Amino acid sequence: MRIGIFGGTFDPPHLGHLILAAEASHQLALDRLLFVLTPQPPHKGDRLIAPLEARLEMLQAAIAANPAFELSHIEIERPGPHYSADTVHLVRAVYPDSTLAFVMGADSLRDLPDWRRADDFVAACDILGVMRRPYQRFDLKALEEKLPGIGGKVQFIRAPLLEISSRQIRRRIAEGRPYLYYLPAAVAAVIARRGLYRQPD
Ligand code: ATP
Ligand code: MG
């Protein structure tokens, strides 16, 4: 089996996430893609994030239509802080003979050397599926110097550059600007029903 792992805060999930997920699944020939919702990301500081329950509901709604996409509780079930290295080891324990691909945007790849136990994380992944993101530059050579071996694991996902982010959607909602069509209608419905993101970050 070829298993993908897609970690994120998903606050809220949007079309950038879904397009990355679909293209990565296809281009890396994944049998299953696990969406790993991070309850409280260590690097996001004090920013108020939407309650876990609300993010779970949005993410479930976002991925419901695709049978190969699966919501994973692997980080919700264990106490924090949550490090991706541990997450990959836990997925490996469930799928011992599988190829594991961690998928991410280019900003995450750029920040990877600052992740806790980054070398352990890179060693644990068979593939790092990376989708480029507008304005996010990175230097694969410099990354390779900091994390030897990473270069051989990176596979770029071909996809259009998508200038969509959760932060930008949160701001749109707080400012009363349109946000429909940046995310699935089912996610927009959860946002409206729960009255999420009406206050600025
Ligand atoms: P925020 O603006 O709050 O940081 P985000 O849109 O970056 O949210 P995250 O939940 O932080 O969403 O992202 C999870 C993963 O998805 C990260 O690896 C991120 O790089 C990737 N990602 C998110 N949006 C895009 C996009 N438009 N193109 C490519 N990758 C993306
Ligand atoms: Mg982000």
Protein residue with its CA nearest to atom 21 in ligand 1: 105
The pLDDT mean for the chain works out to 96
Ligand 1 in reach of 25 Cβ (< 6 A): no
Closest CA to 122 of 102, 99, 93: 102
**Domain residue limits at 21:** 2-162
Q: Ligand 1 test: best mutation among 15, 125, 166, most atoms within 8 Å of CB?
A: 166
Query: Considering the domain boundaries, does residue 178 fall inside one?
Result: no
Query: Considering the domain boundaries, does residue 189 fall inside one?
Result: no
Query: Considering the domain boundaries, does residue 50 fall inside one?
Result: yes
pLDDT the model gives residue 84: 97
Query: Considering the domain boundaries, does residue 107 fall inside one?
Result: yes
- Count of domains in the chain? 1
The ligand 1 atom at the shortest distance from the C-alpha of residue 162 is 27
pLDDT the model gives residue 113: 97
Query: Considering the domain boundaries, does residue 23 fall inside one?
Result: yes
Ligand 1 in reach of 17 Cβ (< 6 A): yes
Query: Considering the domain boundaries, does residue 96 fall inside one?
Result: yes
151-174 tens-digit pLDDT: 999 999 999 999 999 999 999 999
Prediction pTM value: 0.97
Of the pLDDT bands very low, low, confident and very high (cuts 50, 70, 90), residue 136 is confident
27-78 tens-digit pLDDT: 999 999 999 999 987 666 667 899 999 999 999 999 999 999 999 999 999 9
Which ligand is nearest to the Cα of residue 17, counting in written order?
A: 1
Protein residue with its CA nearest to atom 9 in ligand 1: 8
Q: What is the CATH number of the domain that holds 63?
A: 3.40.50.620
Query: Considering the domain boundaries, does residue 119 fall inside one?
Result: yes
Query: Considering the domain boundaries, does residue 183 fall inside one?
Result: no
